[in-house]
Structure 1
Amino acid sequence: MPQMAIDMTTRRSFLVSLLATASLPRLTWADAGGPSYLAAAKDPSGQFSLIGLTREGAEAFHVSLPARGHAGAGHPKRPEAVVFARRPGTFAYVIDCAFGRVSHDLTAPEGAHFSGHGTYSRDGTTLFTSEISNADGQGQIGLWDVENGYERVGEFASGGLGPHEILRLPDSDTIVVANGGIVTALDDDRSKLNINTMAPNLTYLSSDGDVLERVELPSHWHQNSIRHLSVTSDGLVGFAMQWEGDPAIMPPLLGVHKQGDAVVLISLPDYLAPRLKNYAASIAFSGDETRVAITCPRGGVMVSFDLAGQDPEFLPRADVCGISASQNGFYVTDGLGGVLESKAGKLRPLAVHDRAWDNHLVRI
C-alpha cells in the first residue's frame, strides 16, 4: 500500500495523543479540519492529491495520491473518504482524513475497471462502486463491506452499458445510475466503439440490485451520453450529458427526473447553446434547491436554470468544472486553481491555490 504525505502534522499529533486516552470520542469530520467538500487536484510538480476544502475555500487537509484521481465519496458518519482513479482505472483508496493515511487499498475485480465514482449506503456500512466489464462494456455495481475492512462481497448489474456516476437518493438506499451507453476501448485514446447504437439511461436500483425504474432518452437523443448526477432532498435527479453525435447538432445537455415521472430535458436558447461545445462536465443543485447548474469546461462557461428549465444564467469562467451546492448558491472550482461561489448570477472568488482542480467537487 503506498505511503501518503499530508499537510496536517499538528492535528495528527493531537489526535495521536487522544488515542492514548481511554475516553477517546468517536471522530467526526470536524477532526479532519471541518471540510465541506472533497476535490482531486494536481500541483505544478505533477503531484496528484485529494484535498478537503472549507466553505471559505481554505484547505482543511491534503493527502498525496500516486496517480490522478477523479471523484470521491465521503462517509456519511466518520471522516473517511474513498477516491477513485480516473477511468479506466483499477484502484481506489480509502482515506482516513483525520490521520492523513490510506486505510484501505481497493482493486477492481479481474476483468473490470472502476469508472470514477461511488457512493455509501445510508448507514455507511456498504460502499457501492461504479464498474465496467472490460470485455463488453456492461455495467456493474460493486459491493464492499465497510465494517469488515472494505471486503469485496459481490456485485449486481447496473442496468446498462458504461455506467459513470452513481448516487444514493436521500433518506433511502435507492441508487440511481448514470448508464452512459458507450462501450470504450481500453487503449490510450479510449476509442468509442458503439456510437451508432448507444442507448444511455437512468436506472434506479435497490440496494439488493433490483431494478426499480429505468428511464431512456427519446430515440433521437440516443447519442447523448448521461454522465453525471445530482439529487435534491426530495429525490429530484439532475443529470448532465455529453453529445457523441453530429457536432452541428446542439442537443440539451441537462435533464431532470423524478421517479414515476417523465424526463424533462432543458435546452439553452439558440444564441447561447454553441458556447457549451456539446459537453457538460459536472452538475449540481443550488443549496436552496431552487436552481440547477452544469459546468462546461470546453466552452469555459457555467449555466444555471430554475427547476422549470427557465431563467438561464450564463457565467463565463475559463476551465470551470467542479461544482457543488453552497449555502447561498453554488461552489465552483476550475483548472486554474480558482475556488469561487456563484450567487445571484455572479461569480465571487474565494481563493486561488497553486494547483489545477480536477473534474468534480463532492459535498460532504
Structure 2
Amino acid sequence: MATRRGFLAGLIASGIAPAATWADAGNPSFLSAARTPDGAYVLVGLDGQGAERFRIPLPTRGHAAAAHPTRPHAVAFARRPGTYAVVLDCQSGDVIARLNSPSGRHFYGHGTFDATGDLLFTTENDYELGQGRIGVWDARHGYVRVTEMPSNGVGPHDLRLMPDGTLVVANGGIDTHPASGREKLNIPTMRPNLSYLEFDGRLIEQIEPDDHLASIRHLSVRADGLVAVGMQWQGDMATSPPLVATHSRNGPMQYMGDGVEVEGYVGSVAFSGDGSRVAITSPRAGEAQIFEAASGAILERMSNRDVCGVSALGRDMVLTNGAGQVYQLAGDASLLSSHDLSWDNHLVAVGNV
C-alpha cells in the first residue's frame, strides 16, 4: 500500500504537490512585529486566543505586515522610513525574498496584496521629488518589482484593497527626506488626502480632510467599501479636531469622536468583523475606543498603557500593547495572553477572523 509520504513525494516529483496554506503555519489569525527582551526583532503569528503560533527573526524593527490571501507568506516592512521589506515563509521561517526600495525611495511601512495574491503593492516616498509612489511587485515570480504608479499625494502611509479590486491610499501629506531624519519638512503647506486608484494608477476619486493639518495615516475597509480613517494631528493640541472618520465613495468624510481625547494621535483603526463598529487606538493617550459606525457615537473605552495594535475577531476586537499583552474588547476588556515581547504598532488580520 502506498504511504502518504510516498504519495506526496510523487506529487512533488510530478510538480503538482498541493500548495502550502496558512493552516500549515499553525493557522494564525493575526501577525504582529515585536521586540524581544534581548533587543532582537521578530514577526509573530497569533491565534484568536492570543497564543503564539510562530516567531520568525527580523533584521531590524518592523512596523506592519501584509499577509498573502492564501499562501503562508508574510511581507514584513521595516519601521518607516525603511528601505527594505522581507517576504517570509511562515511555515518554514525562511526568507523567500528581500524587497529593496529603488534608489531615492524608501518604504512607509505598509503594503497589501491584490485579491489573488499575485501582486503586492507598497507605499513609498520619492524623497528627491517629494512625491508618493505605489510600488508593484510580482508575487508569482519571486516578488520582483514590475512597475510603479503615483500615489497622487505626499507621504503615502497605509493602503488597502477595496472590495471592487481597486486601491485606497492614505496620503499623509507630510514630506520627509533621509538627510533630515524623521523631520517633517512641509507642515505649513501639507495637504493630506484619501485617494482611490485603479491598478494602472488612474485616480478614481480623491478627498481631503476638513483641516489640512490632519494627516491621514491608517485605514480599514468594510465589505461594502466604507473606509475607516485614522489621522494624526500636526497642529496645536488645543485645536485638534476629531481624528476618526469614515468615507464612502462620492460622499463627504463623516467624522466621529468629537471631544474624545487621543492626544492628536490615532495609532491604528479597524472595523469589527460585522462592520457595525470602528475601533481606534492611541498609544499616546493610552486608550482604545470603539464607535458605532453608523452614528459615530462612542460605545466603549479602554484605558491601557501603550496600546496600539487592533484587529477584528468576529464582532469583538483584539488589541496589543507594548508590554506584550493581548486583550479582547467585548463590552469588558479581558486579557487573553501575555508574552515576553513588546508588540509594535499594528496587529494584522490573516484571512477572515
Matched with 1:281 is 267
The code of the aligned residue for 1:337 comes to G
**Do 1:74 and 1:80's aligned partners in 2 also have CA atoms closer than 8 Å?**
yes
Structure 1: distance between partners of 2:39 and 2:181? 21
Change (3 A) 1:292 1:145: same
**Do 1:115 and 1:130's aligned partners in 2 also have CA atoms closer than 8 Å?**
yes
Matched with 1:260 is 250
Question: Does 1:311 find its partner at 2:298?
Answer: yes
Question: Does 1:223 find its partner at 2:213?
Answer: yes
Structure 2: distance between partners of 1:187 and 1:355? 32
The code of the aligned residue for 2:171 comes to N
Matched with 2:176 is 184
**Do 2:287 and 2:303's aligned partners in 1 also have CA atoms closer than 8 Å?**
yes
Offset at residue 130 of structure 1 (A): 0.5
Matched with 2:112 is 119
Offset at residue 312 of structure 1 (A): 3.6
**Do 1:137 and 1:182's aligned partners in 2 also have CA atoms closer than 8 Å?**
no
Equivalent of 1:349 in 308, 323, 335: 335
The code of the aligned residue for 2:204 comes to L
**Do 1:251 and 1:267's aligned partners in 2 also have CA atoms closer than 8 Å?**
no
Question: Does 1:64 find its partner at 2:50?
Answer: no
**Do 2:257 and 2:297's aligned partners in 1 also have CA atoms closer than 8 Å?**
no
**Do 2:45 and 2:54's aligned partners in 1 also have CA atoms closer than 8 Å?**
yes
Q: Percent identity?
A: 48
- Alpha-carbon displacement from aligned partner over 1:192-230 (angstroms, at most 9, x marks no partner): 111001100000001111101001112xx1001000000
- Alpha-carbon displacement from aligned partner over 1:294-325 (angstroms, at most 9, x marks no partner): 10001100111101101342210110000001
Offset at residue 20 of structure 1 (A): 3.6
Structure 2, unpaired ranges of 5+? none
Structure 2: distance between partners of 1:317 and 1:357? 13
Structure 2: distance between partners of 1:166 and 1:117? 7
Matched with 1:32 is 25
Q: Map 1:1-150; keep pairs closer than 5 Å.
A: 20-22=9-11, 24-150=17-143
Question: Does 1:339 find its partner at 2:326?
Answer: yes
The code of the aligned residue for 2:170 comes to A
Q: Give the aligned length.
A: 342
Offset at residue 265 of structure 1 (A): 1.4
Moved over 6 A (4+): 15-19
Structure 1, unpaired ranges of 5+? 1-14
TM-score, with normalisation over the residues of structure 1? Answer: 0.91
Structure 1: distance between partners of 2:202 and 2:112? 17
**Do 2:257 and 2:298's aligned partners in 1 also have CA atoms closer than 8 Å?**
no
**Do 2:289 and 2:298's aligned partners in 1 also have CA atoms closer than 8 Å?**
no
Question: Does 1:250 find its partner at 2:214?
Answer: no
Structure 1: distance between partners of 2:26 and 2:89? 12
Structure 1: distance between partners of 2:182 and 2:346? 20
Change (3 A) 1:343 1:16: farther
Matched with 1:164 is 157
